[in-house]
Structure 1
């Protein structure tokens, strides 16, 4: 959750710093298509699975001595195989799992927050997530192996 004066791409580096365990992949929509997001992801040893914007241009060309930037590599691959195929190859569609969870949360609790102040809104969202997680656990069947 961010305030209106911050873009998601601005807080990604701070979010990654809060995670203590290794990160394999960071997926985000085109709003995260910034060099800072790619750099923060690369610093954590993770793969950035962020689709380049439609008007993106390659910044480092193959003739340059420096290592190719991960954003340029994504853009080159999108140009080679197309955006749809890139999304399949990169595992980008795993991102839809979190999108589905947020859709479920908004459907159950409504798309608007009731609290006025940011700290209270964060608590409200935390409680909604806790309630949703509990509902999911209650709705799961108990499975066990039956011998024939």
Structure 2
């Protein structure tokens, strides 16, 4: 990836020290939900900056997991995952093109078609005075 990475959002399977280290090496923010039984890795009385995982864990303990997902932007991951599921279900999970550039065009066309279908089926909403 040529562009700078701002945030990496993964599921809890990547809640490991080496994953946080790799993400930090790229200069990105790690948004990984800690396991339910997670413990603090680096306590506040330790020298050095607080570990990003510990900051996530402290925020979850203070405000709850649902609020952490909203505040950290983690909910965007599930939206992207749902979109990919919808794309694969409607248009298939395989590509016909063999070359990478052609595959990119094929995916672009599939995404454009999916967006068009969503816009056509989207209901109009109006505010009603009670």
Aligned-CA RMSD value? 2.8
Instruction: State whether structure 2 residue 78 is matched by structure 1 residue 96.
Output: yes
Partner of 1:22: 4
Deviation at 1:58, TM superposition (A): 0.9
Instruction: Report if the CA contact (8 A) 1:105-1:129 is conserved.
Output: no
- Identify the match of residue 71 of structure 1 among 35, 43, 53: 53
CA drift at 1:138 = 5.3
1:37 deviates by 1.7
Query: Does the residue aligned with 1:48 lie in a helix, a strand or coil?
Result: strand
What's the counterpart of residue 16 of structure 1?
A: none
Unaligned runs of 5+ in 2: 121-130
TM-score, structure 1 normalization: 0.64
Q: What is the rounded CA distance, in whole Å, between the counterparts of 2:5 and 2:108 in structure 1?
A: 24
Deviation beyond 6 Å, 4+ runs, structure 1: none
Instruction: For 1:1-148, list aligned pairs within 5 A.
Output: 19-110=1-92, 126=103, 129-136=107-114, 139=117
SS in 2 for 1:108: helix
Q: Does the 8 Å contact 1:28/1:49 carry over to 2?
A: yes
SS of aligned partner of 1:26: strand
Contact map agreement 1:60 1:68 (CA 8 A) in 2: yes
Q: Report how far residue 97 of structure 1 moved.
A: 2.5
Shift of 1:66: 2.2
Q: TM-score by structure 2 length?
A: 0.72
Aligned-partner Cα distance in 2 for 1:89–1:134 = 30
Per the alignment, in what secondary structure is the counterpart of residue 77 of structure 1? helix
